[in-house]
């Protein structure tokens, strides 16, 4: 071992951390469409450095979102531990949709699959299996509709991701009201429900609509392939 090797390892670890911090920041703000070249620029390193630390985009996504996928699986476990399965079910939907709202990249992760990211997909499968059990328990209370199926969760996450992307920072709390309406659609008559979140103020919703009507622009951070 040469004297320079510990220093080289320390530099490599610092670069890896810088890349992950940059990717986390860009993904949270813009979603997974951010290019590896943009991550390199944000991190202040060359593209070759990113490639040495993360051979593929899936490798980078796995590293950045592994802790959030852990939190997703933990949310399922927390919901199953709730003595009231219906409350656990509604709390889970609200918690996961809140995770999406806090991070556009994670909103994308929850509505896509990454076959090469074995660790990420294992946690997704764990959460899915827990959710199947949660559905069964919630239906047993009589409060969850009999025709609710696990695939409806994917539709909820897709719908929520779309609302988050559309409203952006113009009407950032809008997703809460949408999720509240969805939960009402899943509930049987008489099921206990929390009050709906307030609707977005008309000026805020108008700003979101104006933003959507503008032609898409590319700052160079997103892939256009």
Structural domain containing residue 173: 65-213
In contact, 34 and 22? CB cutoff 8 Å: no
Q: How many CB atoms lie within 10 A of CB 205?
A: 16
Number of domains in the chain: 2
| SS3 assignment, position 222 | strand
CA distance 216 to 197: 30
Asked if residue 21 and residue 99 are part of one domain, the reply reads no
Q: Is 130 within the bounds of a domain?
A: yes
Asked if residue 70 and residue 50 are part of one domain, the reply reads no
> Quick one: pLDDT at residue 12?
84
| SS3 assignment, position 200 | coil
In contact, 58 and 114? CB cutoff 8 Å: yes
Q: Is 218 within the bounds of a domain?
A: no
Asked if residue 70 and residue 35 are part of one domain, the reply reads no
Asked if residue 79 and residue 105 are part of one domain, the reply reads yes
Asked if residue 138 and residue 45 are part of one domain, the reply reads no
Q: Is 83 within the bounds of a domain?
A: yes
Asked if residue 201 and residue 97 are part of one domain, the reply reads yes
CA distance 117 to 17: 19
Asked if residue 81 and residue 179 are part of one domain, the reply reads yes
pTM metric for this prediction: 0.82
CATH number at residue 77: 1.10.357.10
| Bridge partners, 222 (sequence order) | 34
> Quick one: pLDDT at residue 1?
43
CA distance 32 to 48: 20
Asked if residue 171 and residue 84 are part of one domain, the reply reads yes
Q: Is 222 within the bounds of a domain?
A: no
CA distance 11 to 168: 37
> Quick one: pLDDT at residue 223?
45
Contacts of residue 188, Cβ cutoff 8 Å, sequence gap at least 6: 142, 143, 144, 145
How confident is the prediction along the chain (225 residues), in pLDDT tens digits per residue?
A: 444 455 557 888 899 999 999 999 999 988 888 999 999 999 999 999 999 999 888 899 999 999 999 999 999 999 999 999 999 999 999 999 999 999 989 988 888 888 888 888 888 899 999 999 999 999 999 999 999 999 999 999 999 999 998 898 899 999 999 999 999 999 999 999 999 999 999 999 999 999 888 765 444 444 433
Contacts of residue 173, Cβ cutoff 8 Å, sequence gap at least 6: 197, 198, 200
In contact, 32 and 89? CB cutoff 8 Å: no
Asked if residue 107 and residue 40 are part of one domain, the reply reads no
| SS3 assignment, position 34 | strand
Choose one of 34, 55, 76: the last residue of a domain. Answer: 55
What is the DSSP annotation of 36-104? HHHHHHHHTS-HHHHHHH-SSHHHHHHHHHHHHHHHHHHHHHHHHH-SSHHHHHHHHHHHHHHHHHH-H
Asked if residue 191 and residue 83 are part of one domain, the reply reads yes
Which DSSP symbol is given to 215? P
Q: What does the longest C-alpha to C-alpha distance in the chain come to?
A: 73
Asked if residue 123 and residue 13 are part of one domain, the reply reads no
């Amino acid at each position: 071992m040469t004297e320079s090797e510990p220093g080289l390892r320390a530099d490599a670890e610092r670069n890896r951390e810088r890349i992950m911090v940059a990717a986390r920041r860009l993904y949270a703000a813009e979603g997974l469409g951010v290019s590896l070249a943009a991550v390199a620029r944000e991190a202040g390193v060359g593209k070759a450095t990113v490639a040495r630390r993360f051979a593929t985009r899936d490798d980078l996504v796995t590293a950045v979102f592994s802790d959030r996928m852990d939190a997703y699986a933990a949310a399922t476990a927390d919901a199953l531990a709730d003595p009231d399965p219906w409350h656990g079910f509604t709390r889970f939907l609200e918690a996961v949709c809140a995770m999406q709202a806090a991070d556009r990249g994670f909103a994308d992760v929850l509505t896509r699959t990454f076959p090469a990211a074995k660790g990420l997909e294992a946690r997704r499968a764990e959460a899915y299996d827990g959710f199947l059990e949660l559905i069964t328990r919630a239906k047993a209370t009589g409060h969850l509709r009999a025709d609710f199926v696990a695939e409806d969760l994917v539709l909820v996450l897709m719908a929520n991701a779309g609302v988050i992307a559309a409203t952006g920072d113009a009407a950032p709390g809008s997703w809460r009201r949408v999720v509240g309406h969805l939960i009402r659609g899943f509930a049987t008559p008489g099921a206990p429900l929390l009050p709906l979140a307030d609707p977005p103020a008309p000026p805020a919703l108008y700003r979101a609509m104006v933003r959507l009507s503008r032609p898409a622009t590319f700052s160079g951070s997103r892939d256009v392939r």
